[in-house]
Structure 1
Amino acid sequence: MPLFFLTLIWLGYFFQNLGWIGDCQGGIIPLYAEGLKGIIFSPFLHGSLDHIIGNSIPLAVFSFLIYEFYPKVADKVMLQAWLFSGLAVWLTPPIDFFESHTHYIPCIIGASGVIYVQAFFLFVSGIVRWTVKLMSISLLVALYYGGMIWGMIPEELLFSLSEPSKVAWQSHLAGGVIGVILAIIYRHQSEKRKKYIWEYPNYYNEKDDLLWQKYKAEYPGDFNELPHTQEDEIWDYLEELRKREK
């Protein structure tokens, strides 16, 4: 599925360059009926070559990690990341930070919402499942992609801009929230820990027992009781102090 998703992304960009898809066709327009189709198609559209490359690399990395370490829920996470992130963006009212008199209508494209779902799913899943292997994945995500959290804040609040930012913070914020929710929902759906035969309480192996008996016969000195030093009694110590005082 990740390879299929990446292929569709690049096909969408190819069709954009051919002029088959223009303006805001296939983009998410919040709270407008004509923008509903963007829930399905917007992840496959990008504004520039830098935009699509910048999304393709983390999408490939996160997809690999999800399918490698969470195979039982990987398909569900990918599908729900695709649909729910777009739906959440469509339900988010547009905010005009410049308070212009014209009606502000954003058009949102790109796969960043899906990427944020993946990133937050990987990070939170390792924490809630509390295993060394999965927590190490969480730390790697935080180490290499921790800066993504700034993308959830509108650039207009961080910098002095002369025009509206083209960074879709709505997708990032929605994706992060959905990623956390999915991590919590699927926290119990994982591969069961392997339990080896010697971990069972009634485990017995005749070969192991023979080896143990042979070792005891050949090295009896290893099993002699070690000499113990007598522990000092507190009362003896106090009596010694009294004698010194006298």
Structure 2
Amino acid sequence: MIPPRPLLSAVVVAGFVGLLFVVEAVDTVLFGALDDDGIIPRDFTEWDNIIWAPMLHGGWEHLTSNAVPLLVLGFLATSGGIKQFAQVTVVVWLTAGLGTWIVGANGSHIGASGLVFGFLVFLLVRGVFVRSPGQILVAVVVFALYGAVLWGVLPGQPGISWEGHLFGALGGVLAAWGVARDARRAGVA
């Protein structure tokens, strides 16, 4: 569905993606020094890196591979309004981060792909949870465009945090369930 305030939605999502580019520019100037500030699984001295990890990327290629899906899926995820988008983002961000911190492989896990997977799965299941034909149609289109990336929740390519993808996707399910529950309580769905 189209966001209620499409221009504001576009500015918010583009602003966040723009911030990721600024962070990567700073990291480039620092010769990649920020890349070690990702999620370090089961390290209690580094647990706060859950907050920073989605903002950090292992280079421009890594960032640009996340940027377009973040722009598209993030914009579509604002269809419930900016407040709901912020809530969905927090649920996905924290679920991806905490899950990766608990079960992730050793090393620094960085990147916004957990958010990409979270927004993708949120958009795929939200329509089912709220029983909305319009949102189910959006899910079909989103699946046709991005469904193949769901294989990324499985272990495979070395250096790719499938754990972040998996827990981001689970965060998307959790956020969709929460949105549907709130809509039923408000009598909207």
- Normalising by the residue count of structure 2, what TM-score does the alignment of the two structures yield? 0.83
User: What's 2:145 paired with?
Assistant: 144
Identity score, percent: 28
Q: Is the 8 A contact 1:35 1:90 kept in 2?
A: no
User: What's 1:187 paired with?
Assistant: 180
User: What's 1:123 paired with?
Assistant: 124
Instruction: Please give the alpha-carbon distance, in whole angstroms, between the structure 2 residues aligned to 1:21 and 1:35.
Output: 18
User: What's 1:206 paired with?
Assistant: none
User: What's 2:161 paired with?
Assistant: 168
Rg larger in structure = 1
User: What's 2:4 paired with?
Assistant: none
Q: Is the 8 A contact 1:127 1:138 kept in 2?
A: no
TM-fit CA distance, 1:120 = 0.6
Establish whether residue 5 from structure 1 lines up as the match of residue 6 from structure 2: no
TM-fit CA distance, 1:84 = 2.5
- One-letter amino acid of the structure 2 residue matched with residue 61 of structure 1: V
CA offset digits 1:15-59 (Å, max 9, x no partner): 111016516432111001233132111111111222101101111
CA offset digits 1:136-160 (Å, max 9, x no partner): 111011111111211011116xxxx
Q: Is the 8 A contact 2:36 2:108 kept in 1?
A: no
Higher relative contact order (CA 8 A, sep 6+): 2
Instruction: Please give the alpha-carbon distance, in whole angstroms, between the structure 2 residues aligned to 1:20 and 1:189.
Output: 45
User: Kindly tell me: are residues 93 and 51 of structure 1, through their superposed partners in 2, closer, same or farther at Cα, counting changes over 3 Å?
Assistant: closer
| Over 6 Å off, 4+ runs | none
Residues 13-162 of structure 1 mapped to structure 2, 5 A cutoff: 13-19=24-30, 21-22=32-33, 24-67=35-78, 69-71=79-81, 73-94=84-105, 105-155=106-156
Instruction: Please give the alpha-carbon distance, in whole angstroms, between the structure 2 residues aligned to 1:40 and 1:23.
Output: 13
The Cα RMSD (Å) is: 2.0
- One-letter amino acid of the structure 1 residue matched with residue 118 of structure 2: V
Aligned length: 174
Q: Is the 8 A contact 1:29 1:38 kept in 2?
A: yes
Instruction: Please give the alpha-carbon distance, in whole angstroms, between the structure 2 residues aligned to 1:76 and 1:87.
Output: 16
- Normalising by the residue count of structure 1, what TM-score does the alignment of the two structures yield? 0.65
Q: Structure 1 regions of 5+ residues with no counterpart?
A: 95-104, 157-164, 194-246
- One-letter amino acid of the structure 1 residue matched with residue 25 of structure 2: F
- One-letter amino acid of the structure 2 residue matched with residue 138 of structure 1: A
Q: Structure 2 regions of 5+ residues with no counterpart?
A: 1-11
Please state whether the residue corresponding to 1:116 is helix, strand or coil: helix
- One-letter amino acid of the structure 2 residue matched with residue 13 of structure 1: E
TM-fit CA distance, 1:179 = 0.8
